[in-house]
Amino acid sequence: MTTPLRLGTRRSQLALTQSQHVADALTAATGVPVELVHITTEGDRSAGAIAQLGGTGVFVTAIRQALHDGLVDLAVHSYKDLPTAPEPGLALAAVPAREDPRDALVARDGLTLGELPAGSTVGTGAPRRMAQLRALGLGLEVVPIRGNVDTRMARVVGADELTPGVGGDLDAVVLARAGLTRLGRQGAITETLDPLQVLPAPAQGALAIECRADDARTTDLLAVLDDAATRACVVAERTVLSVLEAGCSAPVAAYAELAEGEDGDELFLRASVTALDGSDGVRASTSGPAGDAVRLGRELAEELLDRGAGALMATGR
């Protein structure tokens, strides 16, 4: 009998859904059974804002420790939650094909962003979204919120439909479309936001599957789940984040797409940094061979820094 692989995951509905999807895909491709191991992280224990909890890594440290300790064999993370620096002793063994990386609006009465009246309250947990929404100049009151997908949505649609004890006190919330899709909540979306309006977070919609670097068996098994196109895009996006020395709580956005060029796949990368109050921002773009993802990300980040991105990030803290 084949020994099951132990997959470490957070207990949230979205994390469990993502992890089960990976477990099922891995078993279908390799025949190896996978069992989920629930792990509570610092981000799960606190209701404070992510930036106040230390920013990047609050959802992954405990899971990574379980990997190091041999309590689990692999872990599934929302890629955008990972620190940009590699974790010694662990390998990023697979980056599966990602869901739609764009942001999505869930608004009362089926409204789009442009249809919300001035003064409408819009909730989001990401400084990046808050900054870009304010920069649109629509007169919206953008407020920080925490909680899982259903809790956030209930702030708009009301407690009776989703979460007991949470009232519909907001006019809209902005969430990652990928999470809504994975949970089967895409029917609640009233508008998928164009990246020209709100540029996604680096690696949004992508999953990262880690295992111990010296675990050759698990590394080899996970290789079947890796998607080269997705990996190239998120490497470029997260290189921007790394060079800017920013984390997932910074108002930094980056979005890469692949398209067929004359000499093979070409990567198109856009990135931005926006002041938290929306008063100023810088955007830039570049393109080049998919194999040059790191170089493209580095050069674009350096261009943003040359145009004042560092000062904008400093005012957003």
State pLDDT tens for residues 167-221: 578 999 999 999 999 999 999 999 999 999 999 999 999 999 999 999 999 999 9
Do residues 153 and 9 share a domain? no
Do residues 116 and 52 share a domain? no
CATH (domain of 54):
3.40.190.10
Do residues 63 and 116 share a domain? no
Q: Domain count of the chain? A: 3
- Whether 35 and 102 have beta carbons less than 8 Å apart is answered as no
Distance CA 82, CA 199 (A): 19
> Could you tell me if residue 308 is inside a domain?
yes
Do residues 132 and 280 share a domain? no
- Whether 192 and 120 have beta carbons less than 8 Å apart is answered as no
Query: Around Cβ 109, how many Cβ atoms within 10 Å?
Result: 10
Do residues 37 and 115 share a domain? no
Beta strands in the chain (DSSP E): 5-9, 34-38, 74-78, 90-94, 103-107, 121-124, 141-144, 172-176, 191-192, 207-212, 252-261, 264-274, 281-289
Placement of tokens 């190239």 in the chain: 232
Catalytic residues: 81
> Could you tell me if residue 276 is inside a domain?
yes
pLDDT given at position 148: 87
> Could you tell me if residue 81 is inside a domain?
yes
> Could you tell me if residue 201 is inside a domain?
no
Do residues 59 and 115 share a domain? no
pLDDT given at position 50: 44
Query: Around Cβ 136, how many Cβ atoms within 10 Å?
Result: 14
> Could you tell me if residue 140 is inside a domain?
yes
pLDDT given at position 56: 47
14-42 confidence digits (pLDDT tens): 999 999 999 999 999 999 999 999 998 66
Do residues 64 and 121 share a domain? no
**Residue ranges of the chain whose pLDDT lies below 70:** 1, 41-58, 158-167, 247-248, 315-317
pLDDT given at position 1: 60
Do residues 114 and 67 share a domain? no
pLDDT given at position 4: 94
pLDDT given at position 111: 96
Do residues 88 and 211 share a domain? yes
pLDDT given at position 64: 95
Do residues 133 and 159 share a domain? yes
> Could you tell me if residue 200 is inside a domain?
no
Distance CA 158, CA 167 (A): 5
Domain residues for the domain of 263 are 233-315
